[in-house]
Structure 1
């Protein structure tokens, strides 16, 4: 798949097969992620890979509980309250792999750099028929002091992108988007 086809057909994927992504493929995707441009050459990214299905399921339940107990802090999530209350709903889409991208806050550019790395990873994964989805619901749970200590994430690193990933159950049609808003030509 060439890059233009990849960009034009990439969608967030929320349904995965049970096929495991190999360690070699994950390392290749991370390496491709780190090929992006980086502010001041700082390369502020760090990664956590979670492939333990029980831990992923537990993190989903912990995240759902936290969000439901703190919904007033996140008014933009009220529309998802029924999802969060559902025992069947997994915020990680029942994926067997999570890739978490953290940024070193010592770099002013860490959010941009890590977001660019996430984009590279998502496009590269799509070209390999691996689906990905940026999981905004996990922002708090995966950035706590306890979680970071458990996974060896240094204190000065902040979560930028929690990503579920897995081989796609089905291919989706290309996304439809509104016309871009051009303020000036």
Structure 2
């Protein structure tokens, strides 16, 4: 798949096959992620890779419980309360792999650099038949001291992009987007 075709057809994927992504493929995606442009060549990224199905499901349950207990802190999430209450709902869409991108806050540009790395990972994955989805709900848990301690994330690294990943289940249509808004025309 060429770059333009990949960009035109890639979309967030929320239905995955049960097949595990080989760790070597995950490492290839991370390497491609680190080819992203980076401010002052700081390359501030760091990654957590989780491929254990039980661990991913436990994380989903923990995040749902945390969000339900704290909805008053996040009123904009109240629209998802029914989802969060459902035992069948998986925060990570039953993905076989999580790639979590962190940025070293010693770099002023860590958010931009790590977002570019995440974009590379998502496009490279899609070109290999692997779907990804940026999981916003994970931001409330993956930056906690407990999570960071468990996964050996240094204190000066902050969460940037939590991604669910897996081989795409079924077929998907390209996304429809509004035309670009150009302010000076």
TM-score (norm 1): 0.98
Note the alpha carbon deviations across 1:107-156, whole angstroms, 9 max, x for none: 11011101000000000000000000000001021111111111111010
2:174 maps to 1:174: yes
d(CA) in 1 for partners of 2:178, 2:17: 31
SS of equivalent to 2:43: coil
- What do you get for the CA RMSD once the two structures are aligned? 0.8
In structure 2, distance between residues paired with 1:18 and 1:54: 13
Distance in 2 (alpha carbons) for counterparts of 1:81 and 1:129: 32
Q: Which runs of 4+ in 1 moved over 6 A?
A: none
What is the aligned residue count? 185
Offset at residue 96 of structure 1 (A): 1.3
Which residue pairs with 2:32 in the alignment?
32
Q: Distance in 2 between matches of 1:104 and 1:129?
A: 30
Q: Tell me the residue number matched to 1:109.
A: 109
Query: Counterparts of 1:75-154 in structure 2 under 5 Å?
Result: 75-154=75-154
The separation in 2 between residues aligned to 1:40 and 1:122, in whole angstroms, is: 23
Unaligned runs of 5+ in 2: none
In the alignment, structure 1 segments of 5+ residues that lack a partner are none
- Structure 2-normalised TM-score? 0.98
> Partners in 1 of 2:171 and 2:28 — Cα distance?
22
